[in-house]
Amino acid sequence: MRTAELLERWGAEVELFEHWADRPPEARRRLLADLDSLDPGLLARLRETLSAGRPAPAARRIAPLPAVALEQWRGSREAGQAGEELLAAGRTAFLTVAGGQGTRLGWEGPKGCFPISPIRKAPLFQIFAEKILAARRRYGVPMRWCIMTSPLNHGPTLEFFRERDFFGLPEEEVTLFRQGLLPSLTPEGRLLMSPDGGLARNPTGHGGILQALRDEGLAGRLLEAGAEELFYFQVDNPLVRLPDPHFAGWHRLAGSQLSSKVLAKSHPEERLGVPVLLEGRPGIIEYSDLNPEGMRARAADGGLLFPYGSIAIHLLNTSFAASLALPLPLHLARKRVRCLVPRTGGVEEREAVKFESFIFDAVPLAASPQFLQTSREEEFAPLKNAAGPDSIATCTAGMIEQHSRWLEACGVQVPREGGRPRYRVEISPLFAADPQTLQERLGNTVNKIDEDTLFA
Ligand code: UTP
């Protein structure tokens, strides 16, 4: 499209064109290219979403939703066996959402490249890759791994995998694919510029994965390859159990299109999505959609009325993911973002509204959704912040704690101080991906941990 036409179409965005002639040619080209690719219908939808605001929680009928108890599904022999068969037949593909900006961690680069393991300092991507490689060796079939990046971090993520030879996985079984971007707006609904002179945009949220799977034709290719289920997890949780035969088997036997792991909240206000009956259908809402009374409400037995939190580990049927044609709803987040201010030519932090869709909005659309309770110690230690809760320290401690417990279960003495392991221990997934394998590998060779110890 010619510059004059673009200027005419977007002329109402006066600020974008201030001091136009003074801008470097590259910055002008970038803005025009971004405007050219911006769908006016999409922008109208964003503005409508902005002016509608968030539906008041009270306007939606929310009721408690039970979850399948841990002992029930993990103790089910049928589920375990069905899951083993599904994995051995290569029915599961792994799906990691890694397109987020990781702003809270404050790490330059994709979050999956963050060195997190206690001793080796293995990055998150390596830990997942090793779990998948261990599963590949165990089941002897291809294990497909699809990683969603965003246009903002795709290049460095791909380079990271290439430099490390895909961590030993066959390259053709690993697919990195990009999600889209959505423009961020001012609170009044105007477009903003990023420091490089283009439009300020943010990745579409983890819900963008459904669109991206379709746009890339990936869902169809996975189905053709026999991958009937997608094991979805986030890039920030190194404790994710990959694979999980009981989870796969329970999901399949229940005839569910989407199953999701939840755990008991550590405190009523814990910032996790909350599984609920929403207008009579099972779903997950943002923690902030429960008002403070709802968060603290008690059931007749004295426990929390809404006791569970979602840890963003889902199994989705590939055909279900591929068939969801309607876009998921958009959620708003008000954040400060760095913007170019044409009037001054400088970069400033400004109030902005980001739009994102969330994968859990697919739950009410699925047949027979299941919520399976799991244990925090075994499956959840997310890396969100540099310090404080869900931080580098707590995530590393979660790994040390899990590996120490596995060693203790094998009869190894692990000295503790104040309840915490005295030494750092790390078990590479390639050494043992679960306590049973650890027992087989160790035999009677180790009795006690008396220094920082790596099993690799
Ligand atoms: P978070 O909600 O923790 O966001 O993402 P974030 O962008 O990683 O971190 P902050 O909020 O900026 O600090 C949860 C998961 O969803 C993925 C993230 O990569 C992470 O695995 N995600 C998030 C995407 O893949 N795309 C997005 O647009 C947003």
Could you give the domains of the chain?
Answer: 38-389 (3.90.550.10), 391-456 (no CATH)
| Gap between the Cα atoms of 290 and 62, Å rounded | 9
Q: What is the pLDDT of residue 57?
A: 60
Q: Which atom of ligand 1 lies closest to the CA of 382?
A: 3
Distance 162 CA to ligand 1 centre (A): 23
Q: What is the pLDDT of residue 11?
A: 75
Q: What is the pLDDT of residue 290?
A: 87
Distance 126 CA to ligand 1 centre (A): 19
Helix (H) or strand (E) holding 311: strand 308-317
Q: What is the pLDDT of residue 7?
A: 72
Distance 145 CA to ligand 1 centre (A): 18
Q: What is the pLDDT of residue 73?
A: 98
Q: Which atom of ligand 1 lies closest to the CA of 385?
A: 13
Q: Which atom of ligand 1 lies closest to the CA of 234?
A: 21
The dihedral formed by the CA atoms of 271, 287, 214 and 93, expressed in degrees to the nearest 10: 50
Q: Which atom of ligand 1 lies closest to the CA of 99?
A: 25
What residues are in contact with ligand 1 under a 6 Å CB criterion? 97-104, 111, 148, 179, 203-206, 208, 234-236, 356, 384
The residue whose CA has the least distance to atom 18 of ligand 1 is 100
Q: What is the pLDDT of residue 326?
A: 83
Q: Which residues are CB-contacts of 241 (< 8 A; sequence separation ≥ 6)? A: 247, 378, 379
Q: What is the pLDDT of residue 13?
A: 85
Pairing state of beta strands 308-317 and 258-264? antiparallel
Which residue among 150, 235, 314, 391 has the greatest number of ligand 1 atoms within 8 angstroms of its CB, and so is best to mutate?
235
Pairing state of beta strands 274-278 and 281-285? antiparallel
Q: What is the pLDDT of residue 22?
A: 87
- Within 13 A of 1's CA, how many CA atoms are on the CB side? 16
Q: What is the pLDDT of residue 56?
A: 64
Distance 207 CA to ligand 1 centre (A): 10
Task: Count Cβ neighbours within 10 Å for each residue of 26-59 and write b for 16 or more, e otherwise.
Answer: ebbebbbebbeebeeeebeebeebbeeeeeeeee
Helix (H) or strand (E) holding 351: strand 346-356
Q: What is the pLDDT of residue 227?
A: 98
Name the token pair of 451.
């220094």
Q: Residue 84, exposed/middle/buried by CB under 10 A (0-12, 13-18, 19+)?
A: middle
Name the token pair of 455.
């099993």
The residue whose CA has the least distance to atom 2 of ligand 1 is 100
Place of tokens 């490249």: 113
Which residue among 97, 272, 332 has the greatest number of ligand 1 atoms within 8 angstroms of its CB, and so is best to mutate?
97
Q: What is the pLDDT of residue 58?
A: 62
> Is 219:227 a contact under the CB 8 Å cutoff?
no
The residue whose CA has the least distance to atom 10 of ligand 1 is 102
Low-confidence stretches of the chain (pLDDT beneath 70)? 1-3, 55-59
Distance 366 CA to ligand 1 centre (A): 23
Helix (H) or strand (E) holding 148: strand 145-149
Give the 3-state DSSP-derived string for 39-74, with helices as H, strands as E and coil as C: CHHHHHHHHHHHHHCCCCHHHCCEEECCCECHHHHH
Q: Residue 92, exposed/middle/buried by CB under 10 A (0-12, 13-18, 19+)?
A: buried
